[in-house]
């Protein structure tokens, strides 16, 4: 599946979003906590942290120029190391940003409270929140709303914010446009603001991101070692393999300095991601990582432990399905024959679906009550589909659906009813049309 990146953000917006995360609340709030614990050595720790982060930044730069795909760290780890580690990276990245965003908002709330001399709490114990938390909640809700508008609008706002924070203070915003994902993530951020303290949030965010950094450096080593033909980075890490090896060592070594409760939370999230993959995602993906493919293709020279480990968590992809939207009886036979041949080859099932459209102003429930004509048409189409599929001995399932829009709603119906075969980060849905088989 070809995939084009939507270039809604210009160079300035992209730069300020990155700068905002680097010189945001982490610089304006965290130094106070660091100085209390490390004294004058706190400045040294920031420099050391920057040097260590540079190792991962170089690795990500190479991976990004070789694979300019949606998903960022999740895609790189998933593609190189496979869906088990990809699940860890995806969950870690999601929760890490939520923890960090809550931490940034609490820092923002502290600044506002001190500037305007605000203190105390609102509500009656035990149901009460501090003024700092209330300001943080308002700030978090504001930026969630901004992200709902559009990534491009977020970039424009970030231009203004970063300019102001260089003079006054830092404000952090995060990137993203999927409404459901923003809503869930935003809800988590607001929850973390209420229940988490500054130390726990910053520690958990650090621990989770260190896990991601270690996996990213490992992903680079795998891609360089296997060297698949499609891997052609425009930028290559200098001093390879020293730089990514140091990135791995320092990333995981720094976990020792994370507070116990934050470290437990970080590994708890990583463990939950693995359990989620084994119990749920494994049967819904066919994506195998570069490392997994390399080990299984060289199984005769690989240690048995490595081969067994790879095969034990290998995705099985679930049942392969070919969805065929049917409307015109003249095309029904050709579409079913094509779909049946594909399903037979892959041990799959044909899902013949009659999709009837109704006007937008007509409620679907009302249309269903007057669906005698549709029932007759569906029965004729789907009965013929069953007969045509028999010549290939392919499995057959049939459905009839009422929708307001035809073409776009086909894909929504496919996802809703699970008629899909997953491949990597995207859903692959086969739909048969009169000109052949399209893949989306």
Q: Domain map of the chain by residue range?
A: 11-279, 282-312, 321-439
Split at pLDDT 50, 70, 90, the class of 304 is confident
More confident residue, 420 or 235: 235
Asked if pLDDT for residue 167 goes beyond 50, the answer is no
Split at pLDDT 50, 70, 90, the class of 226 is very high
Task: Give the CATH fold of the 11-279 domain.
Answer: Amino acid/polyamine transporter I (1.20.1740)
Asked if residues 315 and 288 have their Cβ atoms less than 8 Å apart, the reply is yes
Farthest-apart Cα atoms in the chain, separation:
81
Q: Which parts of 227-345 fold into alpha helices (H)? A: 242-253, 260-279, 290-297, 304-312, 329-345
> What pLDDT, on the 0 to 100 scale, is given for residue 286?
77
- Give me the sign of the Cα torsion angle 24, 27, 29, 33: positive
Write out the two tokens for 412. Answer: 């929504």
Split at pLDDT 50, 70, 90, the class of 58 is very high
Asked if residues 308 and 296 have their Cβ atoms less than 8 Å apart, the reply is no
Q: What is the mean pLDDT of residues 140-159?
A: 62
* Residue 326, strand partner residues: 354
Please count the other Cβ atoms lying within 10 Å of the Cβ belonging to residue 261: 12
> What pLDDT, on the 0 to 100 scale, is given for residue 243?
95
Please count the other Cβ atoms lying within 10 Å of the Cβ belonging to residue 3: 11
| Residues 321-439, CATH architecture | 3-Layer(aba) Sandwich (3.40)
Q: From CA 291, how far away is CA 122, in angstroms rounded?
A: 54
Write out the two tokens for 413. Answer: 């119906």
> What pLDDT, on the 0 to 100 scale, is given for residue 118?
86
Asked if pLDDT for residue 233 goes beyond 90, the answer is yes
Q: From CA 240, how far away is CA 237, in angstroms rounded?
A: 6
Asked if residues 135 and 126 have their Cβ atoms less than 8 Å apart, the reply is no
Asked if pLDDT for residue 313 goes beyond 80, the answer is yes
> What pLDDT, on the 0 to 100 scale, is given for residue 368?
60
Write out the two tokens for 76. Answer: 């790189």
> What pLDDT, on the 0 to 100 scale, is given for residue 374?
59
> What pLDDT, on the 0 to 100 scale, is given for residue 434?
33
> What pLDDT, on the 0 to 100 scale, is given for residue 225?
94
Asked if pLDDT for residue 425 goes beyond 60, the answer is no
Asked if pLDDT for residue 364 goes beyond 60, the answer is no
Helical axes 198-226 vs 260-279, angle rounded to 10° = 50
């Amino acid at each position: 599946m070809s995939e084009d990146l939507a270039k809604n953000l210009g160079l300035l917006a992209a730069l300020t979003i990155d700068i905002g995360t680097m010189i945001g609340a982490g610089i304006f709030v965290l130094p106070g906590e660091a100085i209390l614990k490390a004294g004058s050595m706190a400045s040294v720790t920031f420099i050391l942290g920057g040097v260590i982060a540079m190792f991962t930044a170089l690795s990500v730069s190479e991976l990004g120029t070789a694979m300019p795909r949606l998903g960022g760290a999740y895609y790189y780890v998933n593609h190189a190391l496979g869906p088990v580690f990809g699940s860890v990276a995806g969950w870690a990245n999601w929760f890490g940003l939520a923890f960090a965003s809550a931490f940034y908002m609490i820092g923002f709330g502290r600044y506002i409270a001190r500037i305007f001399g605000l203190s105390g709490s609102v509500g009656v114990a035990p149901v009460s929140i501090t003024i700092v938390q209330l300001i943080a909640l308002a700030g978090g809700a504001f930026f969630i709303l901004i992200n709902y508008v559009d990534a491009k609008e977020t970039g424009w706002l970030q231009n203004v914010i970063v300019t102001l924070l260089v003079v006054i203070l830092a404000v952090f915003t995060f990137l993203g446009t999927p409404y459901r994902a923003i809503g869930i993530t935003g809800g988590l951020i607001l929850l973390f603001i209420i229940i988490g303290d500054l130390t726990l949030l910053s520690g958990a965010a650090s621990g989770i991101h260190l896990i991601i950094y270690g996996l990213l450096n490992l992903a680079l080593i795998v891609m360089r070692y296997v060297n698949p033909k499609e891997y052609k980075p425009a930028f290559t890490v200098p001093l390879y393999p020293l730089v990514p090896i140091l990135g791995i060592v320092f990333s995981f070594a720094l976990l020792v300095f994370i507070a116990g409760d934050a470290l437990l939370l970080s590994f708890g999230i990583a463990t939950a991601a693995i359990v989620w993959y084994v119990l749920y995602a494994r049967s819904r993906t066919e994506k195998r990582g570069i490392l997994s493919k390399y080990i299984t293709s060289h199984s005769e020279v690989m240690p048995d432990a490595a081969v067994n480990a790879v095969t034990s968590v290998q995705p099985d992809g679930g049942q392969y399905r070919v969805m065929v939207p049917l409307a015109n009886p003249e095309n029904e036979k050709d579409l079913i024959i094509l779909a049946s041949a594909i399903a037979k080859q892959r041990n799959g099932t044909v899902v013949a679906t009659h999709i009837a459209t109704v006007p937008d102003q007509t409620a679907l429930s009302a249309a269903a009550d007057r669906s005698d004509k549709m029932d007759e048409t569906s029965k004729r189409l789907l009965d013929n589909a069953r007969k045509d599929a028999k010549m290939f001995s392919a499995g057959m399932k049939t459905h009839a659906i009422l929708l307001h829009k035809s073409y776009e709603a086909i894909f929504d119906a496919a996802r809703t009813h699970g008629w899909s075969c997953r491949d990597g980060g995207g859903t692959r849905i086969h739909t048969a049309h009169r000109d052949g088989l399209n893949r989306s």
